[in-house]
Structure 1
Amino acid sequence: MNNILKTLTYILIALLFISMYKDLSVGTTLTPGINNKQSQEEKISKTENITAMKVKVLQGDTLLTIAEEINPQLSNNLNVNKIVEDFKALNPTADPVELQIGEFYSFPIYKREAD
């Protein structure tokens, strides 16, 4: 009986170390307390006088929902044609209507215009 208890203890310790190794090497996709969308944003860049942010598209996301999220100051004043134009300029091979889940795209960031 004592040998079985020692064996089970060694197995549990091994599983603990394997779990820790996997967590540290692979990481986790969700961080508690942080909005998952914010954790998917990669970087902000400037292309052809358009400031952009790379964002990973998640289930249910559309061009306009992401544009609204990263440009909350414009939620009442969105120019859909300009957003689509700028998205096409930033992502020439992407179809703004058919965004692929899990892919990163550059989305335009707009400054608030002077009142």
Structure 2
Amino acid sequence: MKRIGTIFIILVILYSVYYDLTIGTLPNGLTEVEVTTIEETETEIVTEEINASVPFDPFQEVTVEPGHTVLSIVEHLHEGPIPASIQEIVFDFQELNGGTKPEEIQIGKAYLFPVYH
């Protein structure tokens, strides 16, 4: 009975490792089409709501240097804790820069980064 239990546990662990390495639990780009369609619709709705009720937060133009990321630059612009989630920072960055994704920023180019109060 112990052998069957041990074999079962080993099979479950092997299957979990296989599933994590092949499909994974994090987005891998394969589902990007579905997510993009949903996000575009949500973005349009949110953008309309923002434009109707709340003006945009202030921003600052920064030239990207080697090793900088959107999050590191936004953290550098604030002295204390940032009152926004990473998702909000990414969304605001894309809105300020015409849809440029944070992973597509280039060294030497200037981008607008959100400043939160």
Scaled by the length of structure 1, the TM-score of the pair is 0.50
Q: How far 1:94 moved relative to its partner?
A: 1.7
Provide, for residues 77-98 of structure 1, a one-character-per-residue CA deviation record: whole Å limited to 9, x for no partner. Answer: 5510010010011001422112
Greater share of residues in strand: 1
Segments ≥4 residues shifted beyond 4 Å: none
Out of 88, 93, 114, the position equivalent to 2:94 is: 88
Count of residue correspondences: 63
Scaled by the length of structure 2, the TM-score of the pair is 0.49
Instruction: Supply the distance in 2 between the matched residues of 1:49 and 1:95 (Cα, whole angstroms).
Output: 19
2:14 maps to none
1:67 maps to 74
Structure 2: any 5+ residue segments left out of the alignment?
1-54
Structure 1: any 5+ residue segments left out of the alignment?
1-47
CA pair 54-82 structure 1, distance change in 2 beyond 3 A? same
Q: Percent identity?
A: 35
Out of 44, 57, 60, the position equivalent to 1:50 is: 57
Larger of the two Rg values belongs to structure: 1
Aligned partner of 2:115: which letter?
Answer: I
Question: 1:11-30 alignment to 2 at 5 Å?
Answer: none
Instruction: Supply the distance in 2 between the matched residues of 1:49 and 1:78 (Cα, whole angstroms).
Output: 14
Instruction: Give the number of the structure with larger relative contact order, counting CA–CA contacts within 8 Å between residues 6 or more apart.
Output: 2
1:10 maps to none
Provide, for residues 44-99 of structure 1, a one-character-per-residue CA deviation record: whole Å limited to 9, x for no partner. Answer: xxxx4221000000000000000100012225x55100100100110014221121
